[in-house]
Structure 1
Amino acid sequence: MKKRVTMKEIAERLNLSVNAVSLALNDRAGVSEETRRLVLNAAEEMGYLDQSTKYTAAYSNKNICILLEDRFFKDMQFYGRILLGLEEAAKKAGYDLFINSFEKNQEIPACVEQQKVSGLIVVGKIDEEYLKRLKSYSIPVLLLDHESVETPTDCVMTNNVAGAYKLTKYLLDKGYRKIGFFGDLSYTPSIRERFWGYQEAMQQYLKFPSFEEGIAYIRRYSALKSVEDAVIHQDASSLAEYYQSLEEKPEVLICSNDKMAILMCKALSQCGLKVPEDIGVVGFDDIELSNMVNPRITTMRVDKVLMGKKAMERLLKCMERPKEKVEKLVLDVQLIERDSVREFI
């Protein structure tokens, strides 16, 4: 049989008294927060909490779970900055983060299942059924960069619709009229929201005879499925093929994000086109790379670190007041003008 871990062994490992270990495990006064954290972490690592679950609550009070789908780990230029904001805000409030990923099998993280965290933030898209399963553990949950349409859940979002509307209006003011959109509408709700903002601006400012004619006009210049795979695999040739297959060639392209815009510039070069001389390209998110490529990408800035901080602040409030009404926080975005579009008048 496996030998049981004792408080004395924890104390010896950390060079502390047994009394100090007991105070920390029972979440009582008499030890510093740093000592309490060291004791709780050691108790978890040594398996003490699993054999003495009465102390799990004290451990969970210092930990928060961050959960995101595996595919989003490949987009650290965006989600990495969000995680930085989450970490800064958590550290300031005295919490540690457990960062977990999930795949399509959607297993519940062990830290949630074993009640070893006091809050959970899901970053990016999540299936509704999986969200319901997570919430069944009665741990406060917040969605970051995603909103549930079925299960009332606090969330922090980017104002994608207004941002794409402003970006499209900016291009219209520059004289562009044949404006296309490149983005897989099935990939994330954020891409769909950006498409809706673009579509609304096109309908409002070009004043088509009917809504249906406006939709037909938009689709002649746009690619609305499959293109995200090309970005994931950095396949400029496939993106060039999507462009060549368009019913009509656009004067400028609104890309679903900056990674798409950067790869699109490479794809257009393969088609013998120069940006912005022959065609304009804009992105969304303002990742660092968008200001380092040639041409530098005109985009909408999402304050990713701020998103993380606001999400953590909101979750902490939910943890303090679990019966408070669900709240949706929407953060505005900012137009960043660079070199990838020109005056078209």
Structure 2
Amino acid sequence: MKRKAATMQDIARQVGVSVNAVSLALKDRPGVSDDTRQRVREIAQKIGYKAKKTPPPETPQTRKSICVLLRHRFFRDFRFYGRILLGIEETAKQAGYDVQISSFGGEEVPASVQEGRVSGLIVLGTIDDKFLARLREYGVPLVLADHQSSVYALNCVVSDNFFGAYGMAMHLFRKGYTRIGFFGDPNYTPSTRDRYFGVLKAIQDHVCPGDMNAALAYLTRFSTRGMIEKYVVEQNVARIFELYEDIPETPEALICSNDELAILLMQVLQKHDIAVPGDVAVAGFDDIETGSMVTPTLTTVHVRKKLMGQRAVECLLRRLDDPDAPPEKHIMSVTLVERESV
């Protein structure tokens, strides 16, 4: 009876690593430790593994490549994520890497990741920890950009969302506003959560103890807008205005979870003859280009989007050079941009 040929799966089982890690080790590519590489080669020789003929060096299968994963819903927001992608592509190209961009809606792992045809992976934006666990099973070096996991200690590059929102709220207090709300869903992403808590901390630091309970209650009532991000995706300004009208007391100023929401809110307020900033001040977060083109121009927090993409690639390249290094967390500084809406 003819003996079944040894496979990479056989090696992976004996070494206790992923098939992708075996592939990287046998091809002498970065992404695995020297100890793992040596162990894979020893087992391959022991069980008589024979590698299949590989394509020439210039084919897609062997070219150095980085896969960027981005949720379907974020593709509509290229005014923000497009700038991060630009930083990723430019820095990767300078290092000799191609960039593949794959979108996901559920838990579909790109074929290039499953088949070990990428050197590393950058997840751009929010990702569910359950899906993140699936991706990690393939052993591909991974960096999160504009997101951090609450479960796994992973390389990540994020903006200082907490400090940015804190600074915006303190700016509003200095300008004389006292009734300040956060217009958004704190549970939508880790970024919006941090922005909410930044506003909360500013209130705790600024408001006198006698007014604290009222100020915190006011903020909380305005911040439980579970559907608002859905309406932003749908560009449903009517529903956004309904959520604004639900506020029991007219706010003096609203800090929105992002610029896109702030711009939609300003448009619908003006449509209903509510002046910005005369009747209510509106601030955003992200500093997308549109914010400087609307009337009034939007006061916001500048996020260093392109630099975030550059840092994500640099972090990934270090991970490829040293797979056993401890995870890195990079927090990008932000700056307040004062315009006309406040």
Residue identity opposite 1:273 in structure 2: I
**Structure 2 CA distance, aligned partners of 1:73 and 1:58?**
25
Which region of structure 1 is more displaced relative to structure 2, 234-243 or 77-86? 234-243
Give the match's secondary structure for 2:282.
Answer: strand
Look up the match of 2:169. 168
**Structure 1 CA distance, aligned partners of 2:265 and 2:150?**
32
Look up the match of 2:147. 146
Look up the match of 1:236. 237
Look up the match of 1:334. 335
The structure-2 alpha-carbon separation of the partners of 1:60 and 1:329, relative to structure 1 and needing over 3 Å to count, comes to farther
Shift of 1:207: 2.8
**Structure 2 CA distance, aligned partners of 1:302 and 1:226?**
25
The structure-2 alpha-carbon separation of the partners of 1:109 and 1:220, relative to structure 1 and needing over 3 Å to count, comes to closer
**Structure 2 CA distance, aligned partners of 1:208 and 1:249?**
22
**Structure 1 CA distance, aligned partners of 2:284 and 2:275?**
16
Pair 1:183 & 2:184 matched? yes
Pair 1:197 & 2:198 matched? yes
Give the match's secondary structure for 2:156.
Answer: strand
Pair 1:316 & 2:325 matched? no
The gaps in structure 1 that reach 5 residues or longer are 1-24, 28-48
**Structure 2 CA distance, aligned partners of 1:241 and 1:271?**
12
**Structure 1 CA distance, aligned partners of 2:332 and 2:282?**
24
**Structure 2 CA distance, aligned partners of 1:50 and 1:226?**
52
Shift of 1:130: 1.1
The structure-2 alpha-carbon separation of the partners of 1:328 and 1:339, relative to structure 1 and needing over 3 Å to count, comes to same
Residues 164 and 334 in structure 2, CA contact (< 8 A), matched pair in contact too: yes
Residues 55 and 61 in structure 2, CA contact (< 8 A), matched pair in contact too: no
TM-score, structure 2 length as denominator? 0.81
Give the match's secondary structure for 2:225.
Answer: coil
Look up the match of 2:128. 127
Give the match's secondary structure for 2:296.
Answer: coil
**Structure 2 CA distance, aligned partners of 1:50 and 1:82?**
38
Look up the match of 1:93. 95
Residues 63 and 98 in structure 2, CA contact (< 8 A), matched pair in contact too: no
Give the match's secondary structure for 1:176.
Answer: coil
Residues paired across the two proteins, number:
295
Residue identity opposite 1:93 in structure 2: A
Shift of 1:108: 1.0
Shift of 1:209: 4.2
Structure-to-structure mapping, 1:1-345, within 5 angstroms: 52=54, 59-60=61-62, 62-104=64-106, 106-209=107-210, 213-341=214-342
Shift of 1:176: 0.2
CA displacement, residues 159-203 of structure 1 (integer Å, 9 cap, x when unaligned) = 000000000000000000011111122321111110000011011
Residues 255 and 281 in structure 1, CA contact (< 8 A), matched pair in contact too: yes
Shift of 1:51: 7.0
The structure-2 alpha-carbon separation of the partners of 1:51 and 1:246, relative to structure 1 and needing over 3 Å to count, comes to farther
Give the match's secondary structure for 1:198.
Answer: helix
Q: Return structure 1 stretches of 4+ with deviation > 6 angstroms.
A: 53-58
**Structure 1 CA distance, aligned partners of 2:233 and 2:245?**
20
Residue identity opposite 1:159 in structure 2: D
TM-score, structure 1 length as denominator? 0.80
Which region of structure 1 is more displaced relative to structure 2, 59-68 or 182-191? 59-68
The structure-2 alpha-carbon separation of the partners of 1:51 and 1:172, relative to structure 1 and needing over 3 Å to count, comes to same
Look up the match of 2:45. none
CA displacement, residues 220-264 of structure 1 (integer Å, 9 cap, x when unaligned) = 444532111221111211111111111211001100111011001
The structure-2 alpha-carbon separation of the partners of 1:335 and 1:133, relative to structure 1 and needing over 3 Å to count, comes to same
CA displacement, residues 25-55 of structure 1 (integer Å, 9 cap, x when unaligned) = 999xxxxxxxxxxxxxxxxxxxxx9974897
**Structure 2 CA distance, aligned partners of 1:74 and 1:141?**
24
**Structure 2 CA distance, aligned partners of 1:76 and 1:339?**
24
Shift of 1:272: 2.0
Residues 221 and 250 in structure 1, CA contact (< 8 A), matched pair in contact too: no
Look up the match of 2:42. none
Shift of 1:136: 1.2
Residues 280 and 340 in structure 1, CA contact (< 8 A), matched pair in contact too: yes
**Structure 1 CA distance, aligned partners of 2:322 and 2:62?**
17
The gaps in structure 2 that reach 5 residues or longer are 1-26, 30-50
Residue identity opposite 1:250 in structure 2: P
**Structure 2 CA distance, aligned partners of 1:26 and 1:312?**
21
After superposition, the CA RMSD in angstroms is 2.4
Shift of 1:214: 4.2
Give the match's secondary structure for 1:75.
Answer: helix
Which region of structure 1 is more displaced relative to structure 2, 323-332 or 265-274? 265-274
Look up the match of 1:31. none
Look up the match of 1:42. none
**Structure 2 CA distance, aligned partners of 1:307 and 1:198?**
23
Residues 268 and 274 in structure 1, CA contact (< 8 A), matched pair in contact too: yes
Give the match's secondary structure for 2:66.
Answer: strand
